[in-house]
Amino acid sequence: MKRFLPLVLLSSAVAFAEEPPKPKRAALGLESHAAAREEEEPLGLEEVLVDRVCGVVVDKVAEGGAAAKAGIKPGDVMLQFGDLKLFTNDDLTDQVKVAKPGAEVKVRLKRGDTLKEETVAVTLTAEDGAAWSGVQWTYAGPEQLDDALAEAKKSGKKVLVGASGAET
C-alpha cells in the first residue's frame, strides 16, 4: 500500500495543477440596438413588423473582431443575419447564441454613410465562456423551426418553442 500512495498523491496534484479548457462560444464583436421608429426615415428603413422597424443599428465594433474583419462599421444597419430578418437586438443575439465559432454567416446590411444595401460574409470568432445560460440553445428563429422539429422527431426529444428576450 505504501508504494501506491505517492502515485495517487502525485496524480491528484497533477490533476489540480491543470486547469480544464474553457468552453468557447461564437462572437460577433459588436454592440448594437434595435432601430427605433424615429430612425426609420433617416436610415432609409422600410419594413415594419408589429410596430418594429427591420434593422439593428451597429453602435460599436470591437477591433479585430468578426464584424470588424468583415468590414462592418458603427452606423451600419444590419437587416438580416443568415436567413433571419432582424427586428430586435434579441433576434441578433439569439442567432449568435446558436452559431458555432468559425461559422460563416451572410449579413445583409445598409451602410450608415451611404445607405447602400449590401451583403457581407462574417466568420464568427470564438470567445471564452460557457453556454449563455443553463439552457442549451440549438436553434433560434422561425426560419429554423422545421429543422428543430425534424431533429426532435428523429431523436425522440421534446422541443421547447417560445419567444425570448425583453424586446419580444
The domain segmentation of the chain, as residue ranges, is 21-155
pLDDT at 13: 47
Residue range 26-42: mean pLDDT, rounded: 92
CATH code linked to domain 21-155: 2.30.42.10
Its pTM surpasses 0.75 = no
- Per-residue pLDDT tens digits for 91-146: 999 899 888 899 999 999 999 999 999 999 999 999 876 544 445 556 666 666 77
Per DSSP, the residues of the chain read: -TTTHHHHHHHHHHHHHSPPPPPEEEE--EEEEEPPGGGTTTTT---EETTEES-EEEEEE-TTSHHHHTT--TT-EEEEETTEE-SSHHHHHHHHHHSPTT-EEEEEEE-TTT--EEEEEEE-EEEE---SSSS-----SGGGHHHHHHHHHHHT--------STT-
